[in-house]
Chains A and B, each alone.
Chain A
Amino acid sequence: MTPHANPAAPRTAPALAGAGAGLRNPHYRDALAEVNEQAYPDLCWFEVHPENFMGDGGPPHACLEALREAYPLSLHGVGLSLGGEGPLDRDHLTRLRKLIDRYQPELFSEHLAWTAHDGKYLNDLLPLPYDDAALARVVEHVELAQEHLARSLLLENPATYLRFDTSRFSEIDFLREVSAKTGCGLLLDVNNVFVSAHNHGFDAVDYIKQFPAELVGEIHVAGHAADAGGADLLIDSHDRLVANDVWQLLDVALDQIGAVPVLVEWDNELPAWSILAGEVMTAAAALGRQESSCLANHAH
């Protein structure tokens, strides 16, 4: 036998780097076509909500299996309620562990928020007061989650619409403390920074510059909207193109942090795949200015 590579052997997915796309059900076919055609070679990885893959079988798993063979993968949870006053949902942790064991994602992330209370799931990322009690609770929950999932997670800064007069920490200090006590990394959502900065009247660039760059494992960008209720608020709607201001803020973040993976999220009013892929190409171009590509991690 000559030592040729076995063409039937599964391709080892390259490490996660470059620009990625948040994938939702209506785009499964487009994503599978991308595996073969690679029409967007700068689309380097995919991210999905694990909650959408907690059925027993069918097209969602078939799609993720196929993508997983060709691309690095990130699972971005929305249902763990790390900031919840009640105990973590053990059943949900078990479901997450099963998915992580099956798909071996390069990254797993969750939100600094609560989403469930008293056995009811509220389907929104609800805000926390940044006080000692919340800090102790989030730390305990992140530790438990990391232990249960046998890996460290990335914690995302939220988009918020209100503040509590009981907060004692800045959001950045709160995140820094959670990371220091649990070893978790951070996911910097640049659109969330932009939205929260508008809603609370702080400077988005200052926030980015104060953000602990060494802890950031991933960046998100997405579209936002004005409040339909007429209040002077921006809503983290994920239903349109990324705003120019947010692309500019991404450049600031990349200058500050260096080339970390950048994801484009689009969850509502989904566009044609080519539009979303175009946004990913824009993110790739921003990373390109940092001399990064899909293979950045292989170059070292």
Chain B
Amino acid sequence: MRTELQQRFSTALFEASLPPPSEVVDAGAVTAGQRFNVYRNNIHVSLIEALAQSFPVVQQLVGEEFFAAMARVFVKSHLPESPVLLHYGQEFPEFIHAFEPANSLPYLPDVARLELARRRAYHAADAASLQPDSLLDCAEADVPRLSFDLHPSLELVDSQWPIITLWEAHSDGERTELLELQDEGEDALVMRPADAVKVHRLPPGGLVFLRSLQAADTLGAATALARESHPHFDLAINLQGLLESAAVTGWRLQES
């Protein structure tokens, strides 16, 4: 039995050397191949555009032409598995990491991870954040036993590159001069408290601290972990930053 039409059609869409299915007719001055090429082109251009919209800073950093070429290779091996394209491209950072022509920009995969985190935060569930002063009710002796409910849009992105500085320099849509990458790595807290996604730089130890809180550890346990990895971890600054970023939606006391 002959393979179903849509199987042959979709195979040929991604193999430029294949002719269109034999049922497609030449008509007028336009050949079946030229007609079929419109669909080939539509699919590639629309998916590359979907990636460009989700990774505008990666596109800024490499230029439109390079981005389109890289995205075209990605599209071929990573077709969407859902019509909900607002989640498309989760594997793009790892793909960039393994994409040899992009090796000269070693920070590029992490910038892509930051852009993915921003997109996830944009579409995450809504939740009301606590006011920064709402912990005043908590008795001082109980503070180590506090654990937090964190906002559904909270995302953490760690990097050995100054990804926030890079992102800020390129997120205004203008191409700016490539920065001297002499700064230390930056870890980001990404949050969408209301209608706008915000990116915050984490202080030293902040990443370990927040990952621990995310895992529902108490404030005492999270602080201990952060101090282990960063002896100068400053609890007051980290806690204040967490509350001011609107990342806390609730708190409770755990049994000691």
Contact surface of A with B, Cβ cutoff 8 Å: 51-52, 54-62, 78-81, 84-86, 89, 91-92, 95, 114-124, 126-127, 129, 161-166, 199-201, 227-229, 231-233, 235, 268
Contacts and interface: CB of A to CB of B under 8 A. Distances in A.
A216 B152 CA distance: 43
Given A58-B122, A58-B195, A161-B39, A121 B81 contact: yes
A165 B25 contact: yes
Nearest to B41: A229
Given A78-B83, A85-B4, A164-B24, A59 B195 contact: yes
Given A124-B46, A129-B5, A162-B25, A56 B124 contact: yes
A126 B23 CA distance: 14
A122 B13 contact: yes
Nearest to B121: A58
Contacts of A115: 83
- Ordered nearest first, which 6 A-B pairs have the shortest CB separation? A79-B83, A55-B123, A162-B35, A57-B126, A56-B125, A231-B34
A124 B42 contact: yes
A119 B25 contact: no
B18 interface: no
Given A121-B81, A163-B27, A166-B23, A58 B124 contact: yes
A205 B48 CA distance: 36
Contacts of B23: 129, 164-166
A122 B79 contact: yes
Counting contact residues on chain B (CB < 8 A from A), the size range is: 35 or more
Contacts of B4: 85
B176 interface: no
Contacts of B38: 161-162, 227, 229, 231, 233, 235
Nearest to B25: A165
A278 B25 CA distance: 40
A84 B9 CA distance: 12
B42 A232 contact: no
Contacts of B43: 122-124
Given A58-B123, A124-B46, A163 B24 contact: yes
Contacts of B139: none
B238 to A, nearest CB: 26
A55 B195 contact: no
Nearest to B30: A231
Nearest to B10: A117
B28 to A, nearest CB: 6
Contacts of A61: 126
B85 interface: yes
Nearest to B28: A201
Task: Give chain A's interface secondary structure class.
Answer: loop
A62 B10 contact: no
Nearest to A79: B83
A229 B25 contact: no
Interface in B36-80: 36-39, 41-43, 46-47, 49-50, 79-80
Given A126-B39, A161-B39, A56 B152 contact: yes
Interface string B5-28: 111011001000000110111011
Nearest to B83: A79
A86 B6 CA distance: 9
B252 to A, nearest CB: 23
A188 to B, nearest CB: 22
Contacts of B42: 124, 235
Given A60-B123, A162-B36, A229-B38, A118 B86 contact: no
Nearest to B192: A58
Contacts of A164: 5, 21, 23-25
A285 to B, nearest CB: 32
Contacts of A229: 34, 37-38, 41
Q: Which of B7, B30, B38 has the most CB of A within 10 A?
A: B38
B25 to A, nearest CB: 5
B10 A120 contact: yes
Nearest to A166: B23
B178 interface: no
Interface in B162-176: none
19 contacts: A55-B86, A55-B124, A79-B82, A79-B83, A84-B6, A119-B81, A122-B43, A123-B47, A123-B83, A127-B39, A162-B24, A162-B25, A199-B30, A201-B27, A227-B38, A229-B34, A229-B37, A231-B35, A233-B35
A60 B39 CA distance: 29
Contacts of A165: 23-25
Nearest to B11: A117
A58 B122 CA distance: 6
A232 B28 CA distance: 9
B84 interface: yes
A79 B10 contact: no
